[in-house]
Chains A and B, each alone.
Chain A
Amino acid sequence: SQQGEEDPQALSIQEGENATMNCSYKTSINNLQWYRQNSGRGLVHLILIRSNEREKHSGRLRVTLDTSKKSSSLLITASRAADTASYFCATDRGTGGGNKLTFGTGTQLKVEL
């Protein structure tokens, strides 16, 4: 079964608008993380939310987690052209001490001027 499916697959908005991306997963998790990837580059960590947390904020980012529905959302407020990138959710289901992240398929966000 697929773990970590984002929707929408692609999102195009105007600068200044809010962008919302969703992620669903299938099994229990330790935490859920959101990463950003610019084309051909490495992944940049945005925010981590633990399984016992419901909402978290960081600057223009707001993440929610609903473990009963096994879903999360990432909201980027007042978007900028520089926010154009792919966004991935990643669930940590590791049984060892480290992060064993399972990444989703990603949402490609395009913010137009």
Chain B
Amino acid sequence: EPEVTQTPSHQVTQMGQEVILRCVPISNHLYFYWYRQILGQKVEFLVSFYNNEISEKSEIFDDQFSVERPDGSNFTLKIRSTKLEDSAMYFCASGRQGREKLFFGSGTQLSVL
């Protein structure tokens, strides 16, 4: 069964550094998402992406964050200058259509020291 793949599975970085989290969504999907889960807290929506642009974003997704689909397969989340509170599990997800079920990747555990 096709799946969403995320790399790396773990990322450790120093505060203030830039990180790029990578995702390969399912090939025929049109909608792409980033969610995050801080340890012990709820899964939170960050951003949705469709037709090469952001379709919706949360208050968390400030100017420090950006997303890109640089080619036909990859979908990336960039955090420009990481903060301690950015430490979380980041999940990429994709959907064939809007308002349908999402397929989640296994996540990237980001630790900001």
**Residues of chain A having any CB pair with chain B under 8 Å:** 4, 30-31, 33, 35, 41-45, 48, 88, 90, 92, 94-106
Contact = CB atoms under 8 A, between A and B. Distances in A.
Given A48-B100, A99-B99, A41 B106 contact: yes
Contacts of A98: 31, 33, 48-50, 55-56, 95, 98-99
Interface string B70-113: 00000000000000000000010101001111111111000000
Nearest to A30: B99
User: Interface on chain B toward A: helix, strand, loop, or mixed SS?
Assistant: strand
A99 B55 CA distance: 10
Interface residues of B, number: 27
Contacts of B35: 101
Contact of A99 (B44, B102, B105): B102
A94 to B, nearest CB: 6
- Report the 6 A-B pairs with minimum CB-CB distance, sorted nearest first: A98-B48, A96-B55, A97-B98, A96-B56, A103-B43, A45-B101
Given A94-B48, A98-B56, A31 B42 contact: no
